[in-house]
Amino acid sequence: MTDLSRVNEAERICFITRVQSFSACHRLHSIHLSDEENKKVYGKCNNPNGHGHNYKVEVTVRGKIDRVTGMVMNLTDLKKCIEEIIMVPMDHKNLDKDVPYFANVASTTENVAVFIWDNMVKAVPPNLLYEIKIYETDNNIVVYRGE
């Protein structure tokens, strides 16, 4: 058993999570499949007019607690990154038509998580981003850690 009072404060690791919700529509459709294959794979989610979700995203950073500030990352800075990377390009948007990344990539929640990760990792301090967790519905959740 480790005596926590003996752990060097500079070595203490903490996870910080900020939760944000956004609404967007999309159509599950792959340019690599025929129309019939798309209907078979994606079912009702391949509706030509699309469908919408109220997504909930959890952005988690992980790092050492700064001895001076007492923070892993300033939550105000994390909030600004989330606004710029998630809310501005995706909230109340059609992912397939309004987000260029999805012009050739199926807008599955898995790919939404990758899109968020790839942009968030450039915005937060190096080696801090730990996880993107997206709740597409209460029952469908995707977790991506950059692998």
User: Which are the catalytic amino acids?
Assistant: 45, 92, 136
> In 3-state terms, what secondary structure has residue 131?
strand
Distances (CA, A) of 89 to 15, 119, 128: 26, 11, 23
Whether residue 95 contacts residue 109, with contact meaning beta carbons closer than 8 Å, is answered with: no
Whether residue 62 contacts residue 132, with contact meaning beta carbons closer than 8 Å, is answered with: no
Closest CA to 129 of 20, 17, 19, 10: 17
| Residue 78, H or E segment | helix 75-82
Closest CA to 124 of 61, 69, 56, 67: 61
